[in-house]
C-alpha cells in the first residue's frame, strides 16, 4: 500500500470523538486536582527561584496571574470535552499546559511532556468531527475521517510505551532489579502484599522483567485484534497496580483511557450511546444532524509536517548517544526520552561561596533559597546545580561579595550504590555556562550500567 492510498483511507470518526472527550475530562480533573492540592502555591508561587529549561528562561510563574493560566488550561480542557470551538480550545490548552510545565523544570515528569506533545498533535486532528457542539452549531457532522488522524495517536502512544520498555533494557533494571529492589520493600505498609510479596527478591525481578516486556509488547498487542482485549486488561491491571505502588497521580488513568483508541469503532459507538443515554437523564436533547463528507484541508502539508514531527520523536530519545559517560549519572539527554522509574537517585549539594581576594568562604544553606522539592531535584542533576550556582552568584554579588567564585561539594547515590562525589569541587561554576555541550565538570561514574 502506497503512502498516497494510505492517506486517502477513511475510518469512523467515533474513536477520535471518544478520545477527545476522555482526554478533556482527564485534563480537567488533573487541573482541578492540582489546584485543590495547593500545588500552584507550593510549586510555583512560594519558591523564590525557579529552574528554567535551556532556552526557555523567559517562562516564569506570573505571580497571581499564574492562576489565570490554570483557569485557561482547565476551561480549554472543558471546551475540548464539549467539542466547542475545538481548534481554538486545543491550541489554548496546548499553550497553557506547556507554559505551566516550562515554568519550573523541578516538576518535570515524562507524562506531563506526553500531555504537551499529545495536545500538540491533537491541534491537527479533526477531533470535533463527530459528537461535538461544533457539529451542532455548524449543523453538520462527519462520520468518516482520514485514518491517519487516529493512527497518529496510536503511534504516539506506541512510541511512549515502546521507548519506556527499551529504556528498561539495562543491567541495573534487569540484572539487579534496581531500583525496584529499593522501592518495593519500602511498600511494607500495603495491605495483604506489603509484608511478604513486596519483600521477596524474586518478586522484584519478576516485576522488573515483566515491566520491560509489558512496555515493549503492549503497543503491538493493542494493535492486533485478536490480542486487543487481553492487552487492554493488561493495561488496566498494570496501571492500577503501579498506581497502588507509586504516587503517579492521574497518569495511569490517562493511559487507560488513551488506550481505548485502539478499539474499533463499534466499541466507541457503544460508548457514545452510553454518554447519550447519560445526557438524556439530564434532559439534554440530542439532535440528529446531517452528515457531510469530511475533506481534510491542506492534508499534504499537515501530514508531511507530522511525519517530520514523529521522526523527531523517534530520534530524540537517542540523543544521549552524542554524550560521553553514563546517561543515568550525567543525565545529558535523559529528559523527553520516556525513561520512566529507572533511577533511585539521591544527592547532597553543599555550595561554597568564595571570595578569592579576601580568601574567605562560607557555605550556603539551600533551604534559604529552595523548597525541599527543588533542593532534592537540584542535588542530583547537573543542569540544576549549574543554574542554581549562577543564581547564588547573582544573589551574593548583590550583597557585595566580589570577586566571587562558587564551588559545590556534592555526592550522589544511584540505584543502591554508595554515594560518590558528583561534581568537580575545584571548578568555579560561575565560569561554566549551560549549553548542549557535554559538561566537563561532572565527575566520572565509578561503575558501569550496560544497555539502552
Partner 1 sequence: MKRILIALFAIFLVLSCSSDDSGSEINNNPNDGFDRQAMLSNWVDNIIIPVYTDLNVKLGNLVNAKSSFIDDPTQGNLDNLRMAWQEAYKVWQHAEMFNVGLAESTNYIFQMNVYPTNVNDIENNIQSLNYDLGSVNNNDAVGFPALDYLLHGLGENDSEILAFYTSNANAENYKTYLSDLVDRMKTLTQSVLDDWNNGFRDNFVSNTENSATGSINLMVNDYIFFYEKGFRANKFGIPAGNFSPNPLPDRVEAFYKADFSKTLALEGIDAIQNFFNGRAYSGTSDAESLKDYLDFLNTIKEGEDLSTLINTQFDEARQKINTLNDNFAEQVQTNNVAMTETFDIIQLAVVLLKVDMLQALDISVDFVDTDGD
Contact residues toward partner 1 (CB under 8 A) are 37, 39, 42-43, 107, 109-111, 181-183, 185-189, 192-193, 195-197, 199-201, 232-233, 236-237, 240-241, 244, 246-251, 340-341, 344, 346-348, 350, 355, 358, 360-365, 371-373, 375-376, 401, 411-413, 416-419
Q: Rounded to an integer, what distance in angstroms lies between the CA atom of residue 81 and that of residue 259?
A: 17
Give the strand pairing for 345-355 and 360-363: antiparallel
Running DSSP on this structure, what letter comes out for residue 189? T
Q: Rounded to an integer, what distance in angstroms lies between the CA atom of residue 14 and that of residue 17?
A: 5
Look at the chain and count its residues. Answer: 452
Q: Which residues contact 78 (CB under 8 A, 6 or more apart)?
A: 24, 28
Q: Compute the chain's Rg from CA coordinates.
A: 25
Running DSSP on this structure, what letter comes out for residue 352? E
Cα dihedral 270→276→278→283 (10° resolution): -160
Q: What is the largest CA-CA distance in the chain?
A: 82
Cell 463528507, residue located: 293
For the chain, how far is it from start to end, CA to CA, in angstroms?
Answer: 33
Q: Which residues pair with 423 in a beta bridge?
A: 442
Answer positive or negative: Cα dihedral of 311, 55, 373, 392.
Answer: positive
Q: Which is nearer to partner 1, 247 or 297 (CB)?
A: 247
**Runs of H (alpha helix) within 290-355:** 299-315, 327-330
C-alpha atoms less than 13 angstroms from C-alpha of 171 in its C-beta half-sphere: 6
Q: Rounded to an integer, what distance in angstroms lies between the CA atom of residue 70 and that of residue 95?
A: 11
Q: Rounded to an integer, what distance in angstroms lies between the CA atom of residue 172 and that of residue 287?
A: 57
Cell 533494557, residue located: 169
Q: Rounded to an integer, what distance in angstroms lies between the CA atom of residue 404 and that of residue 356?
A: 7
Distances (CA, A) of 212 to 204, 242, 275: 12, 14, 36
**3-state class of 57 per DSSP?**
coil
**3-state class of 71 per DSSP?**
helix
Check: CB of residue 417 under 8 Å from CB of residue 379.
Answer: no
Neighbours of 65 (CB within 10 A): 8
Check: CB of residue 429 under 8 Å from CB of residue 378.
Answer: no
Amino acid at each position: 500500500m502506497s503512502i498516497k492510498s494510505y492517506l486517502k483511507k477513511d475510518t469512523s470518526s467515533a474513536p477520535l470523538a471518544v478520545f477527545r472527550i476522555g482526554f478533556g475530562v482527564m485534563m480537567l480533573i488533573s487541573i482541578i486536582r492540582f489546584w485543590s492540592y495547593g500545588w500552584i502555591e507550593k510549586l510555583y508561587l512560594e519558591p523564590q527561584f525557579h529552574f528554567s529549561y535551556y532556552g526557555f528562561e523567559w517562562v516564569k510563574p506570573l505571580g497571581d496571574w499564574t492562576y489565570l493560566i490554570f483557569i485557561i488550561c482547565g476551561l480549554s480542557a472543558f471546551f475540548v470535552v464539549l467539542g466547542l470551538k475545538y481548534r481554538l480550545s486545543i491550541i489554548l490548552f496546548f499553550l497553557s499546559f506547556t507554559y505551566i510545565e516550562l515554568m519550573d523544570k523541578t516538576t518535570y515528569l515524562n507524562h506531563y511532556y506526553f500531555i504537551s506533545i499529545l495536545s500538540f498533535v491533537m491541534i491537527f486532528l479533526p477531533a470535533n468531527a463527530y459528537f461535538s457542539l461544533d457539529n451542532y452549531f455548524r449543523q453538520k457532522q462527519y462520520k468518516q475521517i482520514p485514518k491517519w488522524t487516529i493512527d497518529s495517536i496510536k503511534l504516539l502512544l506506541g512510541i511512549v510505551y515502546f521507548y519506556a520498555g527499551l529504556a528498561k533494557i539495562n543491567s541495573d533494571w534487569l540484572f539487579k532489579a534496581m531500583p525496584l529492589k529499593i522501592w518495593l520493600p519500602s511498600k511494607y505498609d500495603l495491605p495483604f502484599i506489603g509484608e511478604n510479596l513486596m519483600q521477596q527478591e524474586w518478586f522484584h525481578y519478576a516485576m522488573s522483567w515483566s515491566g520491560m516486556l509489558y512496555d515493549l509488547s503492549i503497543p503491538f498487542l493493542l494493535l492486533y485484534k485478536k490480542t486487543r482485549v487481553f492487552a487492554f486488561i493488561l493495561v488496566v491491571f498494570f496501571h492500577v497496580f503501579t498506581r497502588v505502588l507509586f504516587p503517579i497521580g492521574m497518569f495511569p488513568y490517562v493511559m487507560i483511557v488513551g488506550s481505548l483508541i485502539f478499539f474499533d469503532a463499534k466499541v466507541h459507538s457503544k460508548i457514545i450511546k452510553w454518554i447519550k443515554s447519560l445526557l438524556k437523564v439530564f434532559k439534554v436533547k440530542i439532535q440528529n444532524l446531517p452528515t457531510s463528507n469530511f475533506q481534510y484541508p491542506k492534508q499534504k502539508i499537515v501530514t508531511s509536517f507530522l511525519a517530520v514531527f514523529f521522526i523527531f520523536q523517534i530520534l530524540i530519545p537517542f540523543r544521549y548517544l552524542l554524550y560521553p559517560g553514563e546517561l543515568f549519572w550525567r543525565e545529558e539527554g535523559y529528559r523527553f526520552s520516556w525513561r520512566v522509574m529507572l533511577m533511585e537517585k539521591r544527592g547532597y549539594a553543599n555550595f561554597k561561596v568564595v571570595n578569592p581576594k579576601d580568601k574567605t568562604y562560607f557555605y550556603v544553606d539551600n533551604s534559604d533559597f529552595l523548597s525541599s522539592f527543588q533542593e532534592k531535584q537540584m542535588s542530583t542533576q547537573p543542569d540544576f546545580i549549574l543554574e542554581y550556582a549562577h543564581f547564588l552568584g547573582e544573589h551574593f554579588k548583590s550583597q557585595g561579595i566580589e570577586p566571587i567564585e562558587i564551588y559545590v561539594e556534592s555526592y550522589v547515590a544511584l540505584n543502591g550504590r554508595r554515594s560518590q562525589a558528583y561534581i568537580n569541587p575545584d571548578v568555579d561554576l560561575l565560569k561554566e555556562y549551560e549549553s548542549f555541550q557535554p559538561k566537563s565538570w561532572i565527575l566520572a561514574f565509578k561503575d558501569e550500567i550496560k544497555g539502552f
